[in-house]
Amino acid sequence: MRVLVVTYSPVVGGAELILLDFARGVDGEVVLANPSGPLVDRAVEAGLGVHPLTHRRRQLRATLRDRVAGPFRLAGHAREIRSAVRAVAPDVVVGWGLRSALAGRAATWGDGARFIFQHNDLLPGPAIGVLARAMSRRADAVSVLSRTIADDLDPSGRLGTRLQVVRPGVDLDRFAATSPPPSEPRALLLGAIASWKRPDLALEIVARAADRVPDIRLVVAGQPIDAEGEDLLRRLRKRADEPDLAGRVEFRGWTDDTARALQEATCLLHCSDREPLGLVLMEALASGRPVVAPAAGGPKELIDERVGRLYPPGDAAAGADALAAVVGTPGLAESLGRAARERAAGEFGQMDARRRFGQLVQEVATFATLSQGR
């Protein structure tokens, strides 16, 4: 079996790490079609084949120019996918992410290869939603990372059994459980510096929590991925210099050792109110760290009172109450962390996640073989 996985972005984020892990569950040759960059480098290290694509601007709607050029970029992406399909001759094509799925389904229509739509995000708006739902009905299978994503894409259940939730797993050896550090309480905000991640809310939560936990600190581990993120980081640094946060916030930048960052933290603070899953939340639980997160989307699927605290999305005061309770109540972070590790060990098995994705690909490929045999 030969599988071609097509994705638009060359960077390595949560969805891309899941791609590399899921590929290990496929019983056959996996080729990644992607622009050169960190993701291709990781794919080569993992033993995957690579088919190069052209770098294209990731922002499709940020400016008027992007809105005008967006359809042409997708059309160019589709042409390159068509060339990749001809070169690789795959049994199955996986459109990894919405843009590559939209372009990939158009490019592969009628060529005999089966198509899987791997959907990793919430829909960005009604117009794109119409396109995504129409395309998903033309896919042979749709795989999503969470029930939140499934309900957003297919609220009426029209896809039936063609839609499968395949939640990723966590390396339980790498993210080993340790006791919280004995130093001052430290909340960790881990992820890209992007407006939808709400790092601004994290600073407001910590500023308010400091009234009850005077020695609390916040570590921001992540970097901007575009110009908008760079501007946001400048504003965050300016806010962190104000008197109620001065000396409390450390901007650590990008880290490739998330396991160590979690070990050095008392808890994970998450602030996005439109989080489709939250791989970092799963990694935190595996590390024995409680999570403070909004009661919405993926976090609501993963977090409850046994392993952390939830607060209404966007509510800095409620978020501060939750954070202060977790890090300021003697012994609570440690007891929540023990339950968090138990949950991760019982529900987030990496081998099981790989097996389920590999089984889905095999089923689609087998159906393709049978169809071609007729």
pLDDT, one tens digit per residue, over 120-137 is 999 988 988 999 999 999
Query: In the predicted model, is pLDDT for residue 292 greater than 80?
Result: yes
Distance CA 115, CA 210 (A): 51
Q: Residue 151 in contact with residue 140, Cβ under 8 Å?
A: no
Distance CA 174, CA 29 (A): 26
Query: In the predicted model, is pLDDT for residue 20 greater than 50?
Result: yes
Which H, E and C letters describe the chain, residue by residue?
Answer: CEEEEECCCCCCCHHHHHHHHHHCCCCCEEEEEEECCHHHHHHHHCCCEEEEECCCCCCCCCCHHHHHHHHHHHHHHHHHHHHHHHHHCCCEEEEECHHHHHHHHHHHCCCCCEEEEEECCCCCCHHHHHHHHHHHCCCCEEEECCHHHHHHHCCCCCCHHHEEECCCCECCCCCCCCCCCCCCCEEEEECCECHHHCHHHHHHHHHHHCCCCCCCEEEEECCECCHHHHHHHHHHHHHHCCCCCCCCEEECCCCCCHHHHHHCCCEEECCCCCCCCCHHHHHHHHCCCCEEEECCHHHHHHCCCCCEEEECCCCHHHHHHHHHHHHHCCCHHHHHHHHHHHHHHHHCEHHHHHHHHHHHHHHHHHHHHHHHHC
Query: In the predicted model, is pLDDT for residue 271 greater than 80?
Result: yes
Rounded to the nearest 5 degrees, what angle is found at the Cα of 141, between the Cα atoms of 164 and 152? 55
**Percent of the chain at pLDDT above 70?**
93
Residue 65, pLDDT score: 54
- Residue 95 phi/psi, 5° resolution? -85, 105
* Domain chopping of the chain, boundaries: 2-169+350-373, 186-347
Distance CA 146, CA 319 (A): 24
Instruction: Kindly report, residue by residue over 344-357, the tens digit of the pLDDT.
Output: 999 999 999 999 99
Residue 103, pLDDT score: 87
Of residues 264 and 111, more confidence is placed in 264
Q: What is the CATH number of domain 2-169+350-373?
A: 3.40.50.2000
Instruction: Kindly report, residue by residue over 221-266, the tens digit of the pLDDT.
Output: 999 988 899 999 999 999 999 999 999 999 999 888 999 999 999 9
Residue 113, pLDDT score: 82
Is 194 exposed, middle or buried, given 0-12, 13-18 or 19+ CB atoms closer than 10 A? Answer: middle
Has domain 186-347 been given CATH number 3.20.20.140?
no
Q: pLDDT tier at 78 (50, 70, 90 boundaries)?
A: confident
Of residues 199 and 180, more confidence is placed in 199
Distance CA 253, CA 243 (A): 22
Query: In the predicted model, is pLDDT for residue 203 greater than 90?
Result: yes
Q: Following CA atoms 204, 206, 207, 213 in sequence, which dihedral angle do they give, to the nearest 10 degrees?
A: 160
What is the chain's mean pLDDT, rounded? 91
Residue 370, pLDDT score: 41
Of residues 75 and 296, more confidence is placed in 296
Q: pLDDT tier at 8 (50, 70, 90 boundaries)?
A: confident
Query: In the predicted model, is pLDDT for residue 373 greater than 50?
Result: no
Query: Are both 2-169+350-373 and 186-347 of the same fold?
Result: yes
Per-residue b or e along 258-292, where b marks 16 or more CB atoms closer than 10 Å to that residue's CB: bbebbbbbbbbbbbbbbbbbbbbbbbbbbbbbbbb
Query: What residues pair up with 188 in beta bridges, in sequence order?
Result: 219, 268
Query: In the predicted model, is pLDDT for residue 107 greater than 80?
Result: no
Query: In the predicted model, is pLDDT for residue 64 greater than 60?
Result: no
Provide mean pLDDT across the span 281-286: 98
Query: In the predicted model, is pLDDT for residue 209 greater than 90?
Result: yes
Instruction: Kindly report, residue by residue over 293-339, the tens digit of the pLDDT.
Output: 999 999 999 999 999 999 999 999 999 999 999 999 999 999 999 99
Distance CA 127, CA 110 (A): 25
Distance CA 228, CA 232 (A): 6
Instruction: Kindly report, residue by residue over 143-177, the tens digit of the pLDDT.
Output: 999 999 999 999 999 999 999 999 999 999 999 99
